[in-house]
Copies of this chain bind each other. A is one copy, B any other.
């Protein structure tokens, strides 16, 4: 409950004018987090923020259950010797880890690190759990706190040193099994993004940017309104890389022992960051109905002489909504309706229902969508299907707008001169690292990779002008 809880002061920044400052302001003003914790990179999840985040977790958990993943929880602390087993992985993470060196008043014999991700905590145990082909595929996930001492500027939900982390880890008998897992992960990503109203593109990251220890890395990127992309999910094919380092073997049907093939799928509170950034407006956050802790708020319009019957009717509406399974709330606080509108708009409640003495007389209620602020007067009798319909429509429109923003944010370039990275630039690429790096340098952008589901392309590399059969995508990134 930050100092501006009552929410009567308009946001100090406009999204279209200063996206960065708008974002930093809105996450706190919408009561999603409190940034005043006295350690850099660690924010506090307020009740509203945590309910929203865990609503996203619930969607993920449902997907995991339906795809046969078990939920586990591994320890946070990883002993240094386990961490040091996969060479590329160490290189990638050792500059980013927090070290526990003392406990109970003494120095520890073996230093412990806070998991930046859990390969090195899980895989020594996987080598005990996987013995025969009958144990495969092994499909597990956990949702936990993880830690990376990132030196870049921190930003709520987007770049935090302690973050809320989803990680799925799977073991398969062969490469093809792991590839099928990746297909499943991509379908889950698509369904989840659709529930969050987020357009995204899946890229195969260039080799120099893959996950430390991976054979290849796919990443789902969404485009934020300031023209920079945000990575919201990653899926990695490890092949046998980690299995060799951690000795994860199974006995095949023929009796021979083979290393497993592994994949991982990672997401985080960035999903919420993307929702805030993509859908929000100058009035605050706009939450998709799927994750809004309150989906419908009922605001009675009160006049002195009709106070009681209007509150009673508003209360009845809220209860009816709850009975149909909607997360609805009556706001009968003793403040003026305009202040309530403002308060709930700031927090992103998808639908508002207004009801006053005249509405009661005429047998109507007024529905107001958060995203478009569109109003509809509908008959009180039989209003429930209208409420559902409006929420569904809002969800679809949010996705459509995000997809369309993403599409219009992709632009072909045929030369590196006079170009600057705004949105996603698409350029012919011969596939050589050197040309890729030159694109990055000259555009001041990051090479996101090539589209995972790419259309056939034939053109020329924008750097060396050799024939190119694929297109690099570049953008400034978060």
Contact = CB atoms under 8 A, between A and B. Distances in A.
A164 to B, nearest CB: 8
B100 A72 contact: no
Interface residues of A, number: 56
Interface stretch (A12-20, A76-84, A243-251, A459-467): A76-84
A128 B102 CA distance: 31
Interface string A50-79: 110010000000000000001111111101
Contact of A100 (B34, B100, B125): B100
Contacts of A47: 70-72, 140
Contacts of A101: 99-102
A143 to B, nearest CB: 10
Interface of A is mostly: mixed
Interface string A115-136: 0000001001100110100010
A255 interface: no
Given A97-B103, A105-B95, A125 B37 contact: yes
Interface stretch (A38-46, A232-240, A378-386, A442-450): A38-46
B100 A99 contact: yes
Contact of A71 (B50, B70, B73, B131): B50
A74 B100 CA distance: 19
Nearest to A44: B74
A145 B114 CA distance: 12
A151 B140 CA distance: 32
A131 to B, nearest CB: 8
A292 to B, nearest CB: 16
A369 to B, nearest CB: 27
A191 interface: no
A43 B114 contact: no
B50 A73 contact: yes
Nearest to A73: B45
Contacts of A162: 75-77
Interface string A198-218: 000000000000000000000
A102 B98 contact: yes
Contacts of A140: 47
Interface of A: 1-3, 34, 36-39, 42-47, 50-51, 54, 70-77, 79, 82, 94-105, 110, 112, 114, 121, 124-125, 128-129, 131, 135, 140, 144-145, 149, 151, 162, 164
Smallest CB-CB A-B distances: 5 pairs: A47-B70, A42-B75, A45-B73, A104-B149, A99-B102
